[in-house]
Structure 1
Amino acid sequence: MGISGFEPSYLVGIDAVRQAHGARLAALTGRRLTGIALVRFAEDGDWYADCPVVLDFEGTRVEICHRTFDELSFGWDTIHTSAAITGWEWSELSPQWSHHDDRLQAFVGLRLLGVALLEWRPGTRDLADGTVAPEFVFDVGRLRITNGLDENSIEVGPTPPEFVRYEPVPRPCS
């Protein structure tokens, strides 16, 4: 994708994501969301949803990217959002990092109250069945980066009932 530092490691399924990233996601709780970054095209400002969504929590950046119908990658402090995006000779449009998004702006500056991992489990089987999404909880609402069926989707508001909610780190048995 020509994104400096972006080396995705895609995982499939709630157990794999929790094991690989649960503890780091949980450790974000209590931090403020201090910045965001996503890729837009310079010509029209449209969001390119195939590229990662970067959320900065007081210097710890989590980089979220969905691919195909069930793959999810988390990166940690690897993407250089100040670097130009290169290697897009196949496209007539010019991608660039944007640090503004109307859906995300309401959360910038707020303290993160909690994180969950969500697994899509509708009543009937569909293409998204089993996909995993992180959800970030703030006092003004919830923010999810979900699988938009082969790209990222940004959702704000109450958690849809089709999602099963998991703590990022399994609780020990007592």
Structure 2
Amino acid sequence: MMGISGFEPTFLVGLEAICEEHGPGLAALGGRRLTGFALVRFVEDGDWFADCPVILHFDGIQAEICHWKLDELSIGWNTIDTTAAISGWEYLEQMPAWSDTDERLQPFVGQELREVALLEWWPSSRHDLADGTLAVEFIFDTGRFHIANALDENSIDIGEAHANFVRHRLGRCTQPN
């Protein structure tokens, strides 16, 4: 998919489905160091192509996070080959390539991950198109970031999550914390 070697996403919808399928794997990342990451950027201008998966390396485990459509999330494990060129884009004006540079994620490299949580978007006062969408939050001693659904692409946000997110600690996925 998208010309990315090994990328065969399984998009799921909703907290229960993600917890059941990926909760234990995400929780098991706790205590591991973030050893690197990879994003797809366009070679010509360096812009991040946020439609592609965000790859996080934790001491030999590769987590692959990709949001799609309004509420779908795929989490993969050790399947994407970031050393392989991204193919099938030759007819476009810009060429995507894997990159290990990002000013938001770089400060976390080398740090031990303390906890992973799922964040569920539920604004209290109004209906929102994003209701129920999920983000994956990574918590370190010196800070945190989350990868969220930016309505058909990924976003990377640093710091505390917006107040409209309900935090679900893994291991207790059905209970907000």
**Aligned partners of 1:92, 1:83: CA distance in 2, in Å?**
20
**Aligned partners of 2:71, 2:77: CA distance in 1, in Å?**
20
Pairs aligned (count): 172
Alignment match, 1:51 = 52
**Aligned partners of 2:27, 2:154: CA distance in 1, in Å?**
21
Alignment match, 2:70 = 69
Instruction: Give the C-alpha shift of residue 77 in structure 1.
Output: 0.3
Instruction: Give the C-alpha shift of residue 96 in structure 1.
Output: 0.2
User: Unpaired runs of 5+ in structure 2?
Assistant: none
Identical aligned residues as a percent = 61
Give the secondary structure class of the aligned counterpart of 2:113: coil
Instruction: Give the C-alpha shift of residue 160 in structure 1.
Output: 1.4
Deviates more, 1:87-96 or 1:71-80: 87-96
> 2:140 is matched by which residue type in structure 1?
F
**Aligned partners of 2:69, 2:173: CA distance in 1, in Å?**
30
**Aligned partners of 1:107, 1:150: CA distance in 2, in Å?**
26
Q: Deviations over 1:53-76 (max 9, x none)?
A: 000001100000000110000000
- Structure 2 residue 137 is the aligned partner of structure 1 residue 135: yes
> 2:143 is matched by which residue type in structure 1?
G
**Aligned partners of 2:60, 2:173: CA distance in 1, in Å?**
27
User: Unpaired runs of 5+ in structure 1?
Assistant: none
> 1:135 is matched by which residue type in structure 2?
E
Q: Describe the shift of the 1:157–1:171 C-alpha distance in structure 2 as closer, same or farther (beyond 3 A).
A: closer
Structure 1 vs Structure 2 CA RMSD: 1.2
* Conserved 8 A contact 2:15-2:173: no
Instruction: Give the C-alpha shift of residue 2 in structure 1.
Output: 0.3
Alignment match, 1:20 = 21
Alignment match, 2:152 = 150
> 2:85 is matched by which residue type in structure 1?
A
**Aligned partners of 1:18, 1:28: CA distance in 2, in Å?**
14
**Aligned partners of 1:31, 1:94: CA distance in 2, in Å?**
33
> 1:5 is matched by which residue type in structure 2?
G
Provide the TM-score with structure 2 as the length reference. 0.94
